[in-house]
Amino acid sequence: MFESLTEKLQGVFSRLRGKGKLSEQDVSEALREVRLALLEADVNFKVVKDFVARVKERAVGAEVLEGLNPVQAVVKIVNDELIALLGGSDSRVHFAPRPPTIIMLCGLQGSGKTTTCGKLAHWMRRQGRNPLMVACDVYRPAAIKQLQVLGEQLKVPVFAMGDQTAPMRIAQEAVRHADQSGNDVIILDTAGRLHIDAQMMHELEEVKAAVNPTETLLIVDAMSGQDAVNFAQQFHEQLAVDGFLMTKMDGDARGGAALSIRSVTGVPIKFIGVGEKLDALEPFHPDRLASRILGMGDVLSLIERVQQNIDQEKAEEMERNLKEGRFDLNDYLEQMQQMKRLGPMDQIIKMIPGLGAAVKDMDMRAPEATMKKQEALVRSMTAAERSDPAILNGSRKRRIAVGAGVTVQEINEFLKQFEMMKQMIKQMTGGKGFKKKTKGPGGRMRIPFKR
C-alpha cells in the first residue's frame, strides 16, 4: 500500500536532512520532487497542484526556515496537509437512532462488492451488532449463492428471494424480516454493472427510495486509479452517496485514488479493504494513513489488530506457563497461530515505526514459508512428542519428515532452534532453570563478574 509513493517521499526528505539548514530554493526543489511523486502515484493533477501550493506557503515561512530543525517542520507540514487531503478527521458509519440501520452497498462489477458485504458484516459482528446480509443482485450469475456461502462461513444470516424478484421488493421484505428476527443492521448487496447506465441508476434510486437507507456506501476499486475517482464523482452526482469503501488497497502501490477521491468529490472514505480474508477490513483513519505514506508506521492500527485477533485467555495461559518455566511445542504452535491471525508479515512490519524502510528490500515470503513448514512439522507430531521433544528418536523423526514433507536434517535444525529459544525464554522470564544457576546461599541473587 503506497509503497512506491512512500519510497519516493522518504528519498526527498532524506536529501533534505543532508542539507541541515534549508533555504527557500531547497524547499522549492524538494516540493518539485514531491509533486512528481504524487503525479506518478496517479493523484489528480488539480489535487496535486493545490496540495503543493499549500505546503509551500507554510514551509517557506521564517519560523520554519530559521527554526532549530527545519526538516522536521517541513515533514510535519506535509503530514498535516496529507491528513487534510485524506479527509482531516475520521468519518464513521452512522447508526440509526432506532434499529435497524440500513446500509446500501453500490458499485461496478469486479470491485469486490459481494465479498466486501461479507467483510462489513464480519466487522459489524465484532462491534456487537447483529447483521443481516441481503441478496439484491439478481443479475450476476451465482451472486446470491456467493453471498449465502459467505453467510455460512461468517455465521451471518442471508436474506434472499431468488433472481426473479425485483431488488426493491427484496429490500422491503428484508427490512420486515429484520424487524421480526432482531437484526439491528441490514447490509444490501445491490447489483453492479460494467459501467454506469440509466437502468442501473434507476434501479438503485428505486431501492433507496423504498427503504431509505441510513448509509449509502460506494465500493471503489483503489487499483483503478483516476478512473475510480471519475466513476465515484459521476455516481455521487446521480445517487448522493454518504461514503466510500475502498477495496484492494493492499495491492495498490501508487494510492492515487485514495489521495484524490475526498478532495474531488467531497465525500469521505469510511473503510478500506487491506487483504482477501474476511477480517481484512479497516475503518479509515486519515492521520494513520498519512503516517504510513510517510513511512512513520501505524502503531495504533497494530495495537487494534492485536486486540482483535489475539485470544486473551490463551495469551494469559501462555504467560503463566512461561513464568513457571514451561514452554513446549504446543505453546510454540499456539504462538504461530496467534501471529498468523495478525495478517501478512510485511503489513505488520510496516506498521512499526522505523522498520518499514529497514526491511523494504527483504522478501517477506521467506519467513512466512518457514513458519508454514514449521507448523506442518509440529502438526505431524503426536501429543506426547509435542509435550516432550526429548523422546524424538530416529524412527520418530523419519515418520514426521514424511508427514510434513521435510528432511530429518530440517527437523534437527528446528529442534535445536526451539531448544535455544526455550533457554532464552527461561532467562528472560526468570524460569526454573535460570533460578538454579543464579541464586546463591540464602536464596539471594548471585551476579557473576570478572575480577
Task: For 32-46, write each residue's pLDDT tens digit.
Answer: 999 998 998 888 899
Q: Which amino acid is at 15?
A: R
pLDDT exceeds 80 at position 432: no
Q: Name the band, by pLDDT with cuts 50, 70 and 90, for residue 133.
A: very high
CA trace torsion 439, 442, 448, 450 (10° rounding): -170
Q: What is the pLDDT of residue 67?
A: 63
As a whole number of angstroms, the distance between CA 308 and CA 355 comes to: 23
Q: Across the chain, which distance is largest between two alpha carbons, in Å?
A: 90
Mean pLDDT along residues 43-62: 88
User: Domains (ranges, CATH) in the chain?
Assistant: 3-85 (1.20.120.140), 101-296 (3.40.50.300), 308-434 (1.10.260.30)
Mean pLDDT along residues 405-422: 88
Phi/psi of residue 48, nearest 5 degrees = -65, -45
The rounded radius of gyration (Å) of the Cα atoms in the chain is 27
pLDDT exceeds 50 at position 30: yes
Task: For 93-108, write each residue's pLDDT tens digit.
Answer: 999 999 999 999 999 8
Question: Do strands 269-273 and 281-283 pair parallel, antiparallel, or not at all (unpaired)?
Answer: antiparallel
Phi/psi of residue 433, nearest 5 degrees = -60, -35
Extract the C-alpha cell encoding 237: 452526482
pLDDT exceeds 50 at position 442: no
Q: Which amino acid is at 10?
A: Q
Range 204-208, long-range pairs (CB < 8 A, 24+ positions): 204/104, 204/106, 204/239, 205/239, 206/167, 206/168, 207/104, 207/136, 207/167, 207/168, 207/171, 208/104, 208/239
Extract the C-alpha cell encoding 205: 434510486
How big is the chain, counted in residues? 451
CB distance 105 to 211 below 8 Å? no
CB distance 29 to 18 below 8 Å? no
As a whole number of angstroms, the distance between CA 113 and CA 192 comes to: 8
As a whole number of angstroms, the distance between CA 191 and CA 424 comes to: 56
As a whole number of angstroms, the distance between CA 91 and CA 271 comes to: 9
Query: Percentage of the chain surpassing pLDDT 70?
Result: 79
Q: 266-301: b or e for each residue (b if 16 or more CB lie within 10 Å)?
A: ebbbbbbbbbeebbbbbbbbbbbbbbbbbbbbbeeb
